[in-house]
Structure 1
Amino acid sequence: MRSFPYSLTDAPDLRSPTRYLLWLGGFQKATLAVGILLGTVWMASQAVMPFVLGRAIDDGVIAGDTGSLVGWAAVLLALMVVQAASDTATHRAGVSNWMQAAFRSVRLVGHKISRTGDALPAALSTGEVVSTAASDAFRLGEVYEVLTRLVGAAAAWLVVTVLIWQTSPVLGVVVLAGVPVCCGLLLFVVRPMQARQREQREASGAMTAVGADTVAGLRVLRGIGGEHIFVDRYRAKSAATRDSGIRVAHSLADLEASQVFIAGTFSVVFTWVGASLVLAGDITPGELVALYGFSIFLMTPIRAAADSVARSIRAHVGARKIIAVLSVDANVSASTAPVAAPPAGSVLVDERSGVVVAPGLVTAVVSREPAESTEAVTRLGRFEDAVLAEATVRWGGADLRHVRLEDIRSRIVVSEAAPQLFSGPLRRQLDPHGRHDDDAVLAALEAASALDILEGLDGGLDHEVTERGRGFSGGQRQRLVLARAYLTDAETLVLVEPTSAVDAHTEQRISARLAGARRREDRATVLVTASPLMLRTADRVLFLEDGRVTAQGSHQDLMRSNPAYRNVVIRSE
């Protein structure tokens, strides 16, 4: 039994599909070597059996030597036992190699998804990423499983060539040259199949993307009666995928037919030459029987080559898709010159906008264009280094770009406007790291005015949340995410439009409880909102115009003294 996940110490080689497959195979050299050795023993034991059978006929049956017949029969029986045992072991080793490569690729994709942030969905659709992890990684692993049989078949071909050479050099030359030629002829069928499989993979990814988008927006689509539009789109994509799959099936059928025809033709030629040698008296009856056995066995290397080529094509297509995912660069990377994080209670300053976040205060940020205030405060969480290259954010005396990401993520939490929940127990959704007891979780739910949600669930905190929290309304998801944000107990907590989906009465309760949940000397809270109910609870309000702070003060002061601010708030109200 092997434990997963395996450790990955090196960065993957993404220069080409072949280089990625070689890099991946480097982690399982031992099991690949064992699989190849077992595959060689398995194939070689099959290859030797016709030779042993021929000797049993010549030395035992025709010569009338019972002892020789029993001896060769015992050798034949031993070969059968070796073949059965090595076949089982080869299959086990092959599947192990398959799963190791597949799970390593899945793990790489999973790490990329979790660490790349918004850069990955901006570059690739959700359906494409899902297809890569769920399908391409396992297709890629097949090439390591078939490798054990391919190398074994090649070794057996050499063994058969040597044995046949001892009987007839002419037949030895036929086998030595004929098998590679037959394998080479299959390339004329393989090339169009490669293009068709790539086309089918692209169509499958597009279909999955449309399906994922439809499911994600199903509630909205039903609300506006637009399901049929996306259903028609999915039907069209599905039909295209089906048609491309049929074309791939045509290529696979051509490959199967070609390998049967080519291998059969070779077998006929080989048998004809062998029969001619018998008629000429150059070989014995036992050797003729062995040649018939060899002619049947020699179809195995040709079939193994065809199967390996087909799987290799699928592996290269899958590797190319995995490389596309792994090549997406994250918006944030580790600094080459890291600096120590500032002490607790340090002030955060966004120099471009002039937003200053001081500990012990609830600071609200308001602007005529909501995107401006959102952009200003999300810079405080360092989600895009490219943005910070143009707008410096200082945390204490340190440039935020050079502070370790682990320190930033543990001390500065940004809760975005679009709440996200995952499948699993509600308790894990609210407290992913399991740091709090039930009393603390309930207190956070109370502060977020979300206890009524809990009361409506049969399992309470053990309730199984469906994917993306679809069992909750938008307002319920927003309150649960707010409770989760409170439970982080972050040194600096940025809440972007935390009450945009709730009614006025609920918003009033949330605003009234915010101070109790967050107002501490070493805790800073930032609100991005234009709601008067939330602004009244803020200790300080920053008003942005054209991305810069132009006024600050209490909500009441700004309402009296700043007409532009008053217009924004009244419009929001």
Structure 2
Amino acid sequence: MRSFPYPLTGSPDLRSPARYLLWLGGQQKATLAAGILLGTVWMASQAVMPFVLGRALDEGIIGGDGRALFGWAGVLLGLMVVQAVSDTATHRAGVSNWMQAAFSSVRLVGDKISRTGDALPTALSTGEVVSTAASDAFRLGEVYEVLTRLAGAAAAWLVVTVLIWQTSPVLGVVVLVGVPVCCGLLLFVVRPMQARQREQREASGRMTAVGADTVAGLRVLRGIGGEHIFVGRYRDKSTVTRDSGIRVARSLADLEASQVFIAGTFSVVFTWVGASLVLAGDITPGELVALYGFSIFLMTPIRAAADSVARFIRAHVGARKIIAVLSVDANVAESPTPVPAPPPGGVLVDERSGVVVEPGLITAVVSREPAESTDAVTRLGRFEDAVLAEATVRWGAADLRHVPLADIRARIVVSEAAPQLFSGALRDQLDPHGRHDDDAVLAALEAASALDILDGLEGGLDHEVTERGRGFSGGQRQRLVLARAYLTDAENLVLVEPTSAVDAHTEQRIAARLGEARRRDGRTTVVVTASPLLLRVVDRVVFLEDGRVSAQGSHKDLMTSSSTYRNVVIRSE
């Protein structure tokens, strides 16, 4: 059992689709070389068979030499065995090259998706990314499978040219020049097909994007009765994709018809010239049989060239799409001048807003506009370097922009307002790294008031979560994500509106258990909320106006001293 793909070395060359294809081929040199060698043996064994058959006819049957006949028959049998074995091996090598290239591209796209954060969906639609991983990568892999047959066909063309030259230099020149000319004539059909395939790929991407958006918002659409609008949009995009696909199919049909016509014409001309040479007495009947066999075989290189060109066009279009995904830069990058992370207990300071997060405390950030408080605390997680370029965030004595990302991600965890769950076992969703036993997982669920969710699942912690957790309600997803945040055991945990989708009774239980879940080992917690149920249990409240700290203290003191704060909280309540 072999695993695909093999390890990749170096960074992909994204300067052009051709360079990317070359780089990808360089990652599998051994299997490509083996495939090309086997393909050459396979095609060459086919190319020699008409020559052997002609010799058997001339020397064995017409010449009446039984030993020669049996000798050439043995050679023919040996060539058949070689052809059968090399055909199987060539196919295996070709599929191996195909899978390596396709899965390598899928791995690169997957790594890019996991590392770019919000940058990728901002630059490309979800449907476009899905089409790239699900379709373009595998179309791209076809190139390396067809390359083995193309190399073998080219080698066989040279072998046939040499064998025919020995019989007739005139026919040798016809083969040497005629086959490349026939392949070149196919370019007149290929050029419009390339543009049509690019158009079809763009239409397919837009259709997939509409489909992904519709599925993601299906529950809301049904609730407001608007699903028919999106169905109509999808129908329109699907019609455009279908029409563009029909145009591509026409080009493929033209290519197929052209290669049959060109190869057939070449075969007729070649056979006519050979028959004329027999009538003139320049070649023997056995050589005529060999030439007829060659004429049939020479259709193979022309067909291989046409098939290769069609696949190269698809791969070129697919590589361009993969490059578009891989070229998206993440919003954050490692600093060229890194500084060590501070020791545990470092103060977090957002200088733009003036928010200071003291270690070991539960701090709430409140503002009239929720976006202001969310922006302030998410800067603490360093998700966008462009944002931090205009504002400094200090972690202890260190500028957060220069702290290694691994340290930030391990010690500062931000749980955003829009919770995300993925498909897989619930246990793996809650504890992705598998660092906790079931008792710890259950304790986190208890702290998030989510044990009732577990009671309703037949498989318990082994329950298979559907994509994006669509099997759960919004409040259930929010509580599960809160339990997942607790299980990170992060030194600094930022919770953005952690109870916005739950009822008041559940929120009261979460608030009562928040301190128990976080007030140990000096852990620091920041909560963005205006809920009085949560504000009553925090250690400190920071109130923002126009993005700056205007007041701070306990919830009780601010309710007395700040009318603006009181109005925000009362409105929330």
Same fold (TM over 0.5): yes
- Kindly state the Cα deviation for residue 358 of structure 1 after the two structures are TM-superposed: 1.2
Distance across 2 between alignment mates of 1:138 and 1:416: 35
Query: Does 1:166 find its partner at 2:166?
Result: yes
1:359-398 correspondence runs (5 A): 359-398=359-398
Q: Aligned to 1:151, what secondary structure does the other structure show?
A: helix
SS of structure 1 residue aligned to 2:211: helix
- Mind listing any 5+ residue stretches in structure 1 that lack a counterpart? none
Deviation at 1:521, TM superposition (A): 5.0
Q: Is the 8 A contact 1:359 1:521 kept in 2?
A: no
Give the equivalent residue in structure 2 for 1:486: 486
> 1:533 maps to which residue?
533
Deviations 1:155-186, CA, capped at 9 Å, x for gaps: 10000000000100000000000000000000
For residue 563 of structure 1, what is the amino acid of its counterpart? S
Aligned to 1:56, what secondary structure does the other structure show?
helix
- Where does residue 251 of structure 2 map in the other structure? 251
Q: How many residues align?
A: 573
The CA distance in 1 between the partners of 2:535 and 2:227, in whole Å, is 39
Amino acid paired to 1:324: A
Shift of 1:4: 3.4
- Equivalence for 2:285: 285
In the TM superposition, residue 219 of structure 1 has moved relative to its aligned partner by 0.8
Q: Which amino acid aligns with 2:204?
A: S
For 2:237, the equivalent position in structure 1 comes to 237
List gaps (5 residues or longer) in structure 2.
none
2:417 is paired with a residue whose SS is coil
Q: Return the offset for 1:3.
A: 2.4
Aligned to 1:353: 353
Q: Deviation string for 1:472-507 (max 9, x for gaps)?
A: 100000000000000101000000000000011111
Tell me, in whole angstroms, the C-alpha distance in 2 between the residues paired with 1:268 and 1:6.
Answer: 47
**Aligned amino acid, residue 325 of structure 1:** V
Q: Which residue in the other structure is 1:208 paired with?
A: 208
Q: Distance in 2 between matches of 1:488 and 1:372?
A: 26
Paired letter, 2:86? S
**1:41-56 alignment runs, 5 A limit:** 41-56=41-56
User: What does residue 569 of structure 2 align with?
Assistant: 569
Which residue in the other structure is 1:19 paired with? 19
Deviations 1:190-249 (A, max 9, x none): 000001111111111111111111111111111111110111111111111111111110
Residue 153 of structure 2 aligns with an amino acid whose one-letter code is A
The answer on whether the counterparts of 1:347 and 1:359 sit within 8 Å (CA) in structure 2 is yes
Structure 1 SS opposite 2:27: helix
Q: Deviations over 1:423-461 (max 9, x none)?
A: 111111111111111111111111101111111111111
Contact 1:36–1:151 (8 Å) recurs in 2: yes
> Can you list the C-alpha shifts for 1:383-403, whole angstroms capped at 9, x where unaligned?
001111111111111111111
Provide the rounded CA distance (Å) in 2 between the counterparts of 1:433 and 1:72.
67
Q: Are 2:44 and 2:159, in contact at CA under 8 Å, matched by a contact in 1?
A: yes
State how 1:68-147 maps to structure 2 within 5 Å: 68-147=68-147
Alignment partner of 1:53: what SS? Answer: helix
Instruction: Write the letter of the residue equivalent to 2:32.
Output: L
Superposition TM-score, scaled by structure 2 size: 0.99
Q: CA deviation at 1:117?
A: 0.1
Question: Which residue of structure 2 lines up, in the alignment, with residue 60 of structure 1?
Answer: 60
The letter for the 1-side match of 2:282 is: D
- Distance across 2 between alignment mates of 1:107 and 1:392: 35
C-alpha displacement at 1:6, in angstroms? 2.6
Q: Does 1:155 align with 2:155?
A: yes
State percent identity of aligned pairs: 89
1:496-547 Cα shifts (integer Å, max 9, x gaps): 0000000111111111110111113521000001111111111110011111
**Matched residue type, 1:73:** A
In the alignment, which residue of structure 1 is the partner of 2:319? Answer: 319
Counterpart CA distance in 2 for 1:91 and 1:165 is: 31
Residues of 1 paired with 2:88 and 2:443: CA distance? 58
Q: In 2 relative to 1, CA 402–5 (structure 1 residues): closer, same or farther, beyond 3 Å?
A: farther
Amino acid at match of 1:331: N
What does the per-residue CA deviation read over 1:252-306, in whole Å, with 9 as the maximum and x for residues that have no partner?
0000000000000101110111111111110000000000000000000000000
Q: 2:6 & 2:217 partners in 1: Cα distance?
A: 36
Residue equivalent to 1:7: 7
* CA displacement at 1:9 relative to structure 2: 2.7
* Secondary structure of 1:489 counterpart: coil
What is aligned with 1:268? 268
Q: How far does the alpha carbon of each residue in 1:115-151 deviate from its partner, in whole angstroms, 9 at most, with x for none? A: 0000000011111101100110000000000000001
The aligned residue for residue 341 of structure 2 is 341
**1:246 is aligned with what amino acid?**
I
CA shift for structure 1 position 368: 1.1
Distance (Å, rounded) in 2 between the aligned partners of 1:561 and 1:160: 97
Cross-structure match for 2:457: 457
- Aligned counterparts of 1:44 and 1:546: Cα–Cα separation in 2: 78
Amino acid of the structure 2 residue aligned with 1:62: I
Query: SS state of the match for residue 552, structure 2?
Result: strand
TM-score under structure 1 length normalisation: 0.99
What per-residue deviation string (whole Å, max 9, x for no partner) do you get for residues 42-62 of structure 1? 000000000000000011100
Would you say the 8 A contact 1:373–1:528 is kept in 2?
A: yes
Contact 2:364 2:528 in 1 (8 A): yes
Partner in structure 1 of residue 217 of structure 2: 217
| Cα distance, 1:360 vs structure 2 | 1.3
Q: Partner of 2:494: helix, strand, or coil?
A: strand
Q: Distance in 2 between matches of 1:479 and 1:524?
A: 20
The answer to whether the 8 Å contact 1:16/1:320 transfers is yes
Q: CA RMSD in A?
A: 0.7
Task: Give the letter aligned to residue 387 of structure 1.
Answer: V
Alignment of 1:503-542 (within 5 A): 503-520=503-520, 522-542=522-542
Q: Contact (CA 8 Å) 1:347, 1:395: kept in 2 or not?
A: yes
Separation of aligned partners in 2, 1:121 and 1:457:
32
Provide the rounded CA distance (Å) in 1 between the counterparts of 2:192 and 2:256: 14
1:549 maps to which residue? 549
Distance 1:521 1:560 in 2: 33
Pair 5,61 (structure 1): closer, same or farther in 2 beyond 3 Å? closer
Structure 1 residue 5: Cα displacement: 4.3
Separation in structure 2 between the aligned mates of residue 360 and residue 412 of structure 1, nearest angstrom: 13
| CA–CA distance in structure 2, aligned partners of residues 391 and 569 of structure 1 | 28
Asked whether the 8 Å contact 2:59–2:69 carries over to 1, the reply is yes
Residue 437 (structure 1) aligns with:
437
Measured after TM superposition, the shift of residue 550 of structure 1 is 1.0
Q: Is the CA contact 2:32–2:144 (under 8 Å) kept in the aligned structure 1?
A: yes
Counterpart of 1:559 in structure 2 is 559
SS in structure 1 of the partner of residue 28 of structure 2: helix
